[in-house]
Structure 1
Amino acid sequence: MKYYIIIFLLITTICFAQKTTLYTIGDSTMANKKDPDKNPEHGWAQVLQPFFKDNVIVENKAVNGRSTKSFINENRWDSIYKKLKRGDYVFIEFGHNDEKIEDSTRYTNPHTLYRYNLIRFVKESREKGAIPILFTSIARRNFNEKGVLVPTHGDYPLETRMVAQEYKVPFIDLEYYTEILEQSYGPEKSKQLHLHFKAGENAYYDKEKADDTHLSLLGAMSIAQIVVNQIKLLEDPSLGKLQKSIK
């Protein structure tokens, strides 16, 4: 009897000790940056780990400059697919580089290849028993002279929304929530969310910097907080484990 009790306790301990991996795939708005202690630029997935308890491990696989097309063609998705296990999560946010119509290695038609690449990520995640979550691209800081935030992503967010609806994928409309974030700061203060420095103002840059796409630490932390807040609100039983792991 003691033998069986010991075996049961060992199995129970192993089951509870098993960690969940949260993979994040996307572009530079999510990606880890070099020299994080010195580099003003951060990806929002780079700062995601502290929002979760120790039973969730964030594996940030987002890479600067990648579109759905180049991410697949460079075998980055295959390397993740091979490691996916039941109960893992996959955060998917692309679009910024899929828009680059002048670059044949990255551009995708939003209504065809971009759409079908998203569907591939969803289907293949589910094949492994993992749970995909789709995100629209974060908004750029693009205020016009009247102080109106003008969208820049064309039909890519629309296709993401449609794939999420059609395939019943947990979905966070990050374009919408980051538009609200940008507008809450306004045309001038929203520079704090991005990379705006005069020449010599920051030691990491030797020239003036005015980048309205990529994120400062404040911007990355703000968006990571939005993501976590929205995960809490999603009514999907497949997210229960992840929701319980939020600090």
Structure 2
Amino acid sequence: MRWTIASSVLFSLLTLATATPEDDLTAWQELLPQIVLTESQWQSGNLNTSYVLAGDSTTANGTVPNSGGWGNGFCASLASGTPCINRAKNGATTTSFRDGGYWNLTLESAKSEVENGRKTWVTIQFGHNDMKVMTAEAMGANLETFVDEVRAVGAEPILITSLTRRNFNADNTTLNDTLEPWANATIAVSQGKETHLLDLHKWSMWYVEKIGPDAAHRLNRLPDDNTHLNENGTAVFGRMVADLMALDLQPEIGPITPDVEKSLFIWTGEPLY
């Protein structure tokens, strides 16, 4: 599959890494209507790429209490038949994910996909629980090891900064952000290890502040749970991850299928639900 992007729009996206969110939004508004996807393009070769997701409950599938992340929404954005294996674990830190055997499962899945001849991407997003028990620097050291081990099995890591919590300050306009140091540690590891990076923390904060508390809390798994996502929240932030990945990986976008209508709601800061 390939997304066709007008060259003038592509040029404007080259400033994404240093631009402000508002600058980035302008680029997205130009980009999305010009995405062209033909049925024959995405039907051919969509099994040549696979994805393995590692992380905490904000990536996990939401089948048990205190869970509900963007992972399944991202998998739903892929062409039918594309392997997308969600290994994320509720309550996990970068340490407990390894100690509990979940990281080994992640590596085994990635290795199997590589051996089956697929380009395999491993997404890694932690921070929500690490911040409770370790410094951002300690989490960063664990992420560095994760990156090395993913590459050792022939897969490619994509580091993702933490999905924002939807806790608003008293002004009901801005978010009370407690995750920034751990998001910054993820960015630093990505820069040092030269990995792909999706800054979900920045963009999810931007979107949640744009739609405001009422719409943001409609995405909660439970009324007072400003961390985990219900099905609608999974769809919103899964689509956001897919869009950020499509932009970051081009021209190696693979089997990510556009949903221009949904993306336009997100990138114009409008509530979908």
Kindly provide the amino acid, as one letter, of the partner of residue 237 in structure 2.
I
Segments of 5+ residues of structure 1 without an aligned counterpart are 1-15, 101-106, 198-209
* 3-state secondary structure, aligned to 1:142: coil
Question: What is the root-mean-square deviation of aligned Cα atoms in Å?
Answer: 2.1
Structure 1 counterpart of 2:190, from 145, 164, 173: 164
Structure 2: give runs of 5+ residues left out of the alignment: 1-44, 258-273
* Corresponding position: 1:127 with 2:137: no
Residue 213 of structure 1: aligned partner: 227
Partner in structure 2 of residue 32 of structure 1: 61
Q: Tell me which amino acid in the other structure corresponds to 1:89.
A: W
**Cα distance in 1 for residues equivalent to 2:244 and 2:46:** 27
Aligned residues: 206
The structure carrying a bigger helix percent of its residues is 2
Q: Deviations over 1:58-92 (max 9, x none)?
A: 10000111111100111211222234233211010
**Equivalences for 1:88-103 in 2 at 5 Å?**
88-100=120-132
Among candidates 118, 138, 153, match of residue 143 of structure 2: 118
Taking structure 1 as the reference length, the TM-score comes to 0.77
CA distance in 2, matches of 1:126, 1:21: 15
Tell me the equivalent position of 1:56: 82
| Structure 1 residues 224 and 83, CA gap change in structure 2 (3 angstroms) | closer
Distance 1:17 1:114, change over 3 A: closer
Please tell me the residue identity of whatever aligns with 1:156: W
Q: Looking at CA atoms only, which structure, 1 or 2, has the larger radius of gyration?
A: 1
Q: Relative contact order (C-alpha < 8 Å, sep 6+): which is higher?
A: 2
- On the 8 A contact 1:20/1:55 being kept in 2, the answer is no
From 232, 239, 242, the equivalent of 2:246 is 232
Alignment match of 1:66 (pick from 92, 109, 124): 92
In structure 1, give the amino acid aligned to 2:162.
Answer: S
Q: Do structure 1's residue 181 and structure 2's residue 200 form an aligned pair?
A: no
Query: Closer, same or farther in 2 for the Cα pair 1:185/1:31, shift >3 Å?
Result: same
Deviations 1:166-220 (A, max 9, x none): 11110010011100121121122211121354xxxxxxxxxxxx11111121211
**Structure 2 length normalisation: TM-score?**
0.70
Once residues 118 and 59 of structure 1 are traced to their aligned partners in structure 2, the CA distance between those partners, rounded to angstroms, is 19
The residue that corresponds to 2:110 in the other structure is: 84
The residue type equivalent to 1:93 in the other structure is Q
C-alpha distance in 1 between matches for 2:187 and 2:153? 23
* Percent identity between the two aligned chains: 31
Relative to 1, partners in 2 of residues 1:187 and 1:168: Cα closer, same or farther, differing over 3 Å? same
Evaluate the alpha carbon distance shift between residue 53 and residue 150 of structure 1 in structure 2; reply closer, same or farther with a 3 A threshold.
Answer: same
Identify if the C-alpha distance between structure 1 residues 17 and 48 changes in structure 2 by more than 3 Å, giving closer, same or farther.
closer
Q: 1-side partners of 2:61 and 2:91: how far apart?
A: 12
Amino acid at match of 2:178: T
Measured after TM superposition, the shift of residue 41 of structure 1 is 6.4
- Which residue does 1:202 correspond to in 2? none
Find the aligned partners of 1:231 and 1:59 in 2 and give their Cα distance.
Answer: 16
